[in-house]
Structure 1
Amino acid sequence: MSIVVIGSSATDMISLVPHLPKPGETVIGADFQTAAGGKGANQAVAAARLGGDVTLLASIGQDHLGDQSIEGFQKDHLCVDYIQRPEGKSGVALIFVAENGENSIAVSPGSNALLSPEYIKSNESVISQACYLLAQLETPMESILAIAKLANKYKIPFVLNPAPRTKKLTDELLQQVSILTPNQTEACLLTGIEVIDQASAEQAAQTLLQRGVNTVILTLGEQGALIAEKGQPAKLIPGINVTAKDTTGAGDTFNGALVLALSKGESLEKAVRFANAAAAISVTRIGAQPSAPDLAEVNQLIG
């Protein structure tokens, strides 16, 4: 049984700048590069690079950028047999990365907008055989709900990374989510609670549990990640301090690594420690997919 990741694929166009530009400001960049990206693809690649059997369901345009994406997935041993290739442009992300590692991102969805409920349902047989389902919010909301319903139908653990937080999440959806993995900003937007420390993180997590989510893993950057489960005391898993070059894709690496570890039978706490380590390595490199580590690197850091 494989991990099935459903989500976006895009080409990241990255400009390294001294600081993030303010509205109306032009900043002269030090370097420019392109890299494979898109939250769905990033998370699938992260899990596959760590040794997972991963199938990606995505909508990728019939253009040069799309062809390059498919070639990259195959090199990372992703199953690409069920990716749809509609006519038109593939997704693109425009990314500024500041010297302190912070980033600012604008996404043009392109063919990702065509990842429809009908496409999800046409791959029901693939989804029904998954050991874990992992999705994000860079594809149509009705498709996310279709995934959740299939996960519930076949009793498959469904991990939802609510990023980017641009869409409202209904209680109907949240009640079908096994694990929700917001970061501080996303948790604030979902609950109205400003998450600045462990106490506020616990408060936000409890609010999400009350809305029907089974488990919340709230990522807190260098502070680590908070695990909150119904009926259990919350627990903070410490992060790993590193010098960040680019935080782009760190959350995606975390989610891919988390699901990979869970699929191998690890406890939730061990899976989060593993994911923290993978994400820590990723921020020391430039780009989303290029920064995802392999299993030996993560084991070395943990060891």
Structure 2
Amino acid sequence: MLGLALLGSGRMADVYGPKINAHPGFHLVTIYNPRLASAEKAVARHGGTADDDLARVLGDDRIDAVIIATPTDTHLEYVQACAKAGKPVYCEKPLDMTLERVDKCLDALAAHPVPFMLGFNRRFDPDIRRLQTAVRDGEIGALTFLMSWSREPAPPPIAYVRRSGGYFIDATIHDIDLLCWIAGERPAEVFASGSCLFDPAIAAEGDVDATMTVMKMPSGCLAHVNNSRACAYGFDQRLEAFGRDGMLQTRNHRDDNLVRWDDTRTNASMPLKHFFLERYDASFYHALDEFHRALTEERAPSCTAADGRTALAIALACERSRREHRAVEPEYV
């Protein structure tokens, strides 16, 4: 059984803590936060011991690997420290918010090679994985369109928006990674537009809460993403792959999937899964399982730091496209 240190004790610690405890190949040794009181509160929920000394955590022989679940602007510091200490890393997405800082992460991993996995957890959602496999197996022939709908129930707090890096980096990056992974290619150009339709405070920060993005792949396949920071009926998450020989779709998840037909309704009565914590609950476990299998099988995890750089380059191109009102080529190099 591999011992883990969990860096961070906020919302994402409450996602990963239960998944670590449920996995037969992991056990939670330490929760780290430079604010010890916060780490102690997380330990009360998930177990392990609390620590506010990073050097002590990374020097602990009981720690076989580290999960970084801290704010994005701290990832570089922690990746560098973990790599130097020789500890394998699972890091929440995005790797960082600028390509310059991501490149410093890559430099650290090159100087101190350790297994590294980026937490694009949606790749590990069972429905999405089946769609991706079917596309790669040629079940619908050559792809022509890929479409992703990703709409959140309500706008986040403004304090979160200010640290998010913007809507494309914070949210659309999930869709970008998924569509590139499904298509097996990355876009030659992107065109994105956005509006602020739900929360004027987001507009005051120079950000948007509704976006549409089109990515043109080298094969000619067109990938479309629409995102919204608000959705009256819950967490709307759908994918569609349209090919020359057919179509594949993933549908929304509900607590009650029974469809009722009468003189007042022709649909399921329950609302959609409220947010990503519920909708993608299983995906976080499966992502950690991939990390565990990569470590025990001594192979590279399937979602890499390079994947994170690619997704960020595309997200930054989307933001540039929105601001400049034109198609933009992502800066991959």
TM-score tier by shorter-chain length is: 0.3 to 0.5
Q: Indicate the structure (1 or 2) with the bigger Cα radius of gyration.
A: 2
TM-score, L = length of structure 2: 0.34
TM-score, L = length of structure 1: 0.37
